[in-house]
Protein backbone atom coordinates (compact mmCIF):
# COMPACT_ATOMS: atom_id res chain seq x y z
CA UNK A 1 0.00 0.00 0.00
CA UNK A 2 1.34 3.41 -0.98
CA UNK A 3 0.61 6.21 1.49
CA UNK A 4 0.17 9.77 0.21
CA UNK A 5 1.60 12.10 2.87
CA UNK A 6 0.49 15.75 2.92
CA UNK A 7 2.75 16.66 5.88
CA UNK A 8 5.36 18.52 3.78
CA UNK A 9 2.64 20.75 2.29
CA UNK A 10 1.17 21.47 5.72
CA UNK A 11 4.62 22.30 7.12
CA UNK A 12 5.29 24.89 4.42
CA UNK A 13 3.31 28.06 5.28
CA UNK A 14 3.13 29.33 1.69
CA UNK A 15 2.14 25.94 0.26
CA UNK A 16 -0.50 25.40 2.95
CA UNK A 17 -1.98 28.85 2.28
CA UNK A 18 -2.10 28.24 -1.49
CA UNK A 19 -3.69 24.81 -0.96
CA UNK A 20 -6.30 26.11 1.51
CA UNK A 21 -7.17 29.14 -0.61
CA UNK A 22 -7.49 27.04 -3.78
CA UNK A 23 -9.81 24.56 -2.09
CA UNK A 24 -11.89 27.36 -0.52
CA UNK A 25 -12.18 29.15 -3.88
CA UNK A 26 -13.51 25.93 -5.44
CA UNK A 27 -16.48 25.60 -3.07
CA UNK A 28 -19.85 25.61 -4.83
CA UNK A 29 -21.93 28.78 -4.53
CA UNK A 30 -24.40 28.58 -1.67
CA UNK A 31 -22.28 26.31 0.53
CA UNK A 32 -23.33 26.68 4.17
CA UNK A 33 -20.72 24.55 5.94
CA UNK A 34 -17.69 22.32 5.53
CA UNK A 35 -17.88 18.71 6.71
CA UNK A 36 -14.39 17.37 7.45
CA UNK A 37 -13.49 13.70 7.76
CA UNK A 38 -11.17 12.53 10.57
CA UNK A 39 -8.26 13.03 10.70
CA UNK A 40 -6.41 14.79 7.88
CA UNK A 41 -9.69 16.22 6.65
CA UNK A 42 -9.93 18.15 9.93
CA UNK A 43 -6.78 20.12 9.12
CA UNK A 44 -7.94 20.98 5.61
CA UNK A 45 -11.57 21.49 6.56
CA UNK A 46 -10.72 23.97 9.31
CA UNK A 47 -8.51 26.04 7.01
CA UNK A 48 -11.07 25.98 4.19
CA UNK A 49 -14.01 26.84 6.46
CA UNK A 50 -12.05 29.73 7.97
CA UNK A 51 -10.98 31.06 4.54
CA UNK A 52 -14.57 30.84 3.24
CA UNK A 53 -16.23 32.20 6.40
CA UNK A 54 -18.18 28.96 6.98
CA UNK A 55 -18.88 26.67 9.89
CA UNK A 56 -17.06 23.35 10.34
CA UNK A 57 -18.57 19.96 11.17
CA UNK A 58 -16.14 17.17 12.06
CA UNK A 59 -17.16 13.59 11.29
CA UNK A 60 -15.47 11.38 13.89
CA UNK A 61 -14.44 7.82 14.51
CA UNK A 62 -16.49 6.04 17.22
CA UNK A 63 -16.19 6.89 20.89
CA UNK A 64 -15.00 10.48 20.51
CA UNK A 65 -18.29 12.41 20.68
CA UNK A 66 -20.45 13.16 23.72
CA UNK A 67 -23.66 13.12 21.63
CA UNK A 68 -24.01 11.27 18.34
CA UNK A 69 -26.65 12.13 15.75
CA UNK A 70 -26.06 9.08 13.57
CA UNK A 71 -23.36 6.52 12.79
CA UNK A 72 -22.50 4.58 9.63
CA UNK A 73 -20.29 1.53 9.22
CA UNK A 74 -18.79 0.82 5.82
CA UNK A 75 -16.38 -1.57 4.11
CA UNK A 76 -12.75 -0.74 3.47
CA UNK A 77 -10.39 -2.67 1.26
CA UNK A 78 -8.81 -4.09 4.47
CA UNK A 79 -11.81 -4.35 6.84
CA UNK A 80 -14.58 -2.09 8.11
CA UNK A 81 -14.79 1.33 9.70
CA UNK A 82 -17.42 3.48 11.39
CA UNK A 83 -17.98 7.23 11.33
CA UNK A 84 -20.22 9.35 13.55
CA UNK A 85 -21.86 12.73 13.11
CA UNK A 86 -22.12 15.03 16.15
CA UNK A 87 -25.60 15.91 17.39
CA UNK A 88 -26.99 19.35 16.44
CA UNK A 89 -24.37 20.24 13.81
CA UNK A 90 -26.28 20.02 10.51
CA UNK A 91 -29.66 21.67 9.93
CA UNK A 92 -32.27 20.41 7.50
CA UNK A 93 -31.60 21.71 4.00
CA UNK A 94 -28.11 22.95 4.88
CA UNK A 95 -25.74 22.69 1.90
CA UNK A 96 -22.35 21.23 2.81
CA UNK A 97 -19.12 20.28 1.10
CA UNK A 98 -17.29 17.17 2.29
CA UNK A 99 -13.52 17.71 2.61
CA UNK A 100 -10.75 15.13 2.87
CA UNK A 101 -7.17 14.78 1.70
CA UNK A 102 -7.47 11.85 -0.74
CA UNK A 103 -10.38 10.26 -2.62
CA UNK A 104 -9.48 6.62 -3.19
CA UNK A 105 -12.21 3.96 -3.24
CA UNK A 106 -14.85 6.43 -2.04
CA UNK A 107 -16.13 4.43 0.93
CA UNK A 108 -15.36 7.11 3.51
CA UNK A 109 -16.88 9.89 1.43
CA UNK A 110 -19.99 7.78 0.68
CA UNK A 111 -20.42 7.04 4.40
CA UNK A 112 -20.06 10.75 5.21
CA UNK A 113 -22.63 11.60 2.56
CA UNK A 114 -25.03 9.15 4.23
CA UNK A 115 -24.47 10.84 7.60
CA UNK A 116 -25.14 14.30 6.15
CA UNK A 117 -28.28 13.22 4.32
CA UNK A 118 -29.60 11.33 7.36
CA UNK A 119 -29.32 14.61 9.29
CA UNK A 120 -31.30 16.41 6.57
CA UNK A 121 -28.33 18.12 4.93
CA UNK A 122 -27.55 18.31 1.23
CA UNK A 123 -24.10 17.42 -0.10
CA UNK A 124 -23.27 20.23 -2.52
CA UNK A 125 -19.84 18.80 -3.35
CA UNK A 126 -16.73 16.92 -2.35
CA UNK A 127 -13.32 18.59 -2.24
CA UNK A 128 -10.01 16.72 -1.99
CA UNK A 129 -6.37 17.39 -2.66
CA UNK A 130 -5.78 14.17 -4.59
CA UNK A 131 -8.09 11.79 -6.43
CA UNK A 132 -6.77 8.33 -7.26
CA UNK A 133 -8.85 7.98 -10.42
CA UNK A 134 -8.02 4.32 -11.00
CA UNK A 135 -9.85 3.34 -7.79
CA UNK A 136 -13.09 4.94 -9.07
CA UNK A 137 -14.08 6.55 -5.76
CA UNK A 138 -16.05 9.23 -7.57
CA UNK A 139 -18.56 6.56 -8.63
CA UNK A 140 -19.48 6.00 -4.95
CA UNK A 141 -21.01 9.50 -4.73
CA UNK A 142 -23.18 9.75 -7.85
CA UNK A 143 -24.83 13.11 -8.50
CA UNK A 144 -22.25 14.99 -6.42
CA UNK A 145 -19.58 17.24 -7.94
CA UNK A 146 -16.10 16.12 -6.91
CA UNK A 147 -13.29 18.65 -7.05
CA UNK A 148 -9.68 17.44 -6.81
CA UNK A 149 -6.64 19.69 -7.05
CA UNK A 150 -4.70 16.74 -8.49
CA UNK A 151 -5.86 13.56 -10.20
CA UNK A 152 -3.54 10.60 -10.50
Query: Of 17, 69, 77, 84, which residue is the catalytic one?
Result: 77
User: In sequence order, which residues have a C-beta less than 8 Å from that of residue 6 and are 6 or more positions away?
Assistant: 40, 101, 129
Give the class (CATH, top level) of 7-151: alpha beta
User: Which pLDDT score, from 0 to 100, does residue 77 have?
Assistant: 75
pTM for the complete prediction?
Answer: 0.95
Helix intervals (H) in the chain:
7-11, 13-25, 40-52, 107-118
User: Which pLDDT score, from 0 to 100, does residue 76 have?
Assistant: 83
Q: Is 40 a catalytic residue?
A: yes
Query: Of 4, 17, 38, 40, which residue is the catalytic one?
Result: 40
Query: What pLDDT digit, counting tens, does each position of 61-86 carry?
Result: 999 999 999 999 998 878 899 999 99
Domain coordinates in residue numbering, the chain: 7-151
User: Which pLDDT score, from 0 to 100, does residue 57 have?
Assistant: 98
Query: What pLDDT digit, counting tens, does each position of 23-41 carry?
Result: 999 999 999 999 999 999 9
User: In sequence order, which residues have a C-beta less than 8 Å from that of residue 31 and are 6 or more positions away?
Assistant: 52, 54, 95, 96, 97, 124, 125
Q: Is 69 a catalytic residue?
A: no
pLDDT tens digits in sequence order for the chain, 152 residues long: 566 788 999 999 999 999 999 999 999 999 999 999 999 999 999 999 999 999 999 999 999 999 999 999 998 878 899 999 999 999 999 999 999 999 999 999 999 999 999 999 999 999 999 999 999 999 999 999 999 999 99
Amino acid sequence: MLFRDISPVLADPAAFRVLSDAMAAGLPAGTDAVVAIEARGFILGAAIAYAAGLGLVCVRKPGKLPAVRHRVSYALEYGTATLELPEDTIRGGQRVVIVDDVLATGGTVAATRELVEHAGGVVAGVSVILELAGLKGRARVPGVDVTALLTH
